[in-house]
Amino acid sequence: MVGSVPVGGDAPISVQTMTNTLTSDAKATIEQIRRCVEAGADIVRVSCPDKESTSALKEIVREASVPIVADIHFHYKRALEAADAGAACLRINPGNIGSEERVREVVTAARANGCAIRIGVNAGSLERHLLEKYGEPCPEALVESALDHIRILEDHGFRDYKVAVKASDVFLAVAAYQQLADAVDCPLHLGITEAGGLIGGTVKSSIGIGSLLWAGIGDTIRVSLSAEPEEEVRVGYEILKGLGIRSRGVRVVSCPSCARQGFDVIRTVEKLEERLQHIKTPMSLSVLGCVVNGPGEARETDIGITGGGNGTHMVYLSGVTDHHVRNDDMVDHIVSLVEAKAAEIEAAAAHPLVLDAAE
């Protein structure tokens, strides 16, 4: 358990991100966490490099509606302070905390405060003796580091941990996770670290995280992007939606557009994705520019629109042709339909029909 969020076993794959504000600025950090939660974050990590950060952590934890992970490097006292401040999890490398006595103190503080621990192994910060042994970061080095760190925690009787073996190279990261999954039976936190900007990082993360999840490996994910943390959350959900693992919000099916399009598909989809971010209810929307594939796709989605001639387009509801809409009010109209459908789905979930026992 990371706070109230179960990780591992049959629990849903959780989506994480990390703040990029100064943690010591509690107000800014709390506001960024709020935006991440609105985007769907289940768990949020904050960096705690100094005492000012752990001092602010108590207020941050109190105001946050999701569990907070404290990111700790080198300074073991920051881990003690973060645990006392209410962090649900400590992200550490036991090997860089220091002496065995310091590790014991961190474990004692985590246990006393109900904290989990994430062992975070990274190809960019492998221990010197492993680099000397293997010559370079490789899957075997990452896994050996992880197993060494696991041993340290278990030697102190601590087993509430999850593990990550991240690298910026997709093939290195995937191979390391595959080897680790064969070696241990504990929750694994997936990520391609330092993946890059919004587009490049999304592609790399989708390949790496997606292939691991498809193979049944992984219990929680963080997409690392040089972008705002809300974008990491959205990409994370798109990976899960694409694999059919977990759904949140509107899944848009749309065409790349061509000369046959009856309306500007690209601009329309951009506007719809922006205006429908507030929808949390899982549902599907197809936006197709013409009648070649449009009707077929619309039959498989909750709401669909297919481009027609003279600025008039067909709207499908639950896969059935229903009415026409013109260019001028098309986006507003689709947004209203999606909002109404979401409300209908939520109402049905809140008040399911009670069938007669005889039936």
pLDDT at 352: 66
Please determine, for residue 127, whether its predicted confidence score (pLDDT) is greater than 70.
Answer: yes
* pLDDT (tens digit per residue) in 39-93: 999 999 999 999 999 999 999 999 999 999 999 988 899 999 999 999 999 998 8
Task: Show Cβ contacts of residue 290 under 8 Å, excluding neighbours closer than 6 positions.
Answer: 255, 258, 260, 261, 262, 306, 307
- What strand order describes the sheet that includes 220-222? 161-166, 116-122, 89-92, 68-71, 43-47, 14-18, 220-222, 189-190
Pairing of strands 312-317, 320-326: antiparallel
First to last CA, the chain: 40
Q: Say what the pLDDT of residue 126 is.
A: 87
Q: Which domains does the chain have, with CATH numbers?
A: 14-242 (3.20.20.20), 250-350 (3.30.413.10)
- For residue 97, what pLDDT band results from cuts at 50, 70 and 90? confident
Beta strands in 174-224 (DSSP E): 189-190, 220-222
Average pLDDT over residues 185-195: 94
Tell me which amino acid residue 183 is: A
User: Rounded to an integer, what distance in angstroms lies between the CA atom of residue 21 and that of residue 49?
Assistant: 12
Rounded distance, CA 157 to CA 145, Å? 19
Residue 218 Cα distances to 150, 170, 319, angstroms: 17, 15, 35
pLDDT band at 311 (very low <50, low <70, confident <90, very high): confident
In this predicted model, what pLDDT tens digit does every residue of 158-174 receive, in sequence order? 999 999 999 999 999 99
User: Can you list the pairs that 81-85 forms with residues at least 24 positions away whose Cβ atoms lie under 8 Å?
Assistant: 81/48, 81/51, 81/54, 81/55, 81/57, 82/48, 82/54, 82/57, 83/109, 83/110, 83/112, 83/113, 83/115, 84/109, 84/113, 85/54, 85/55, 85/57, 85/58, 85/61
pLDDT at residue number 359: 44
Residue 24 pLDDT greater than 60, yes or no: yes
Is 219 in contact with 189 (CB distance < 8 Å)?
yes
State the pTM of this model.
0.89
Which of 206, 290, 200 is CA-nearest to residue 254?
290
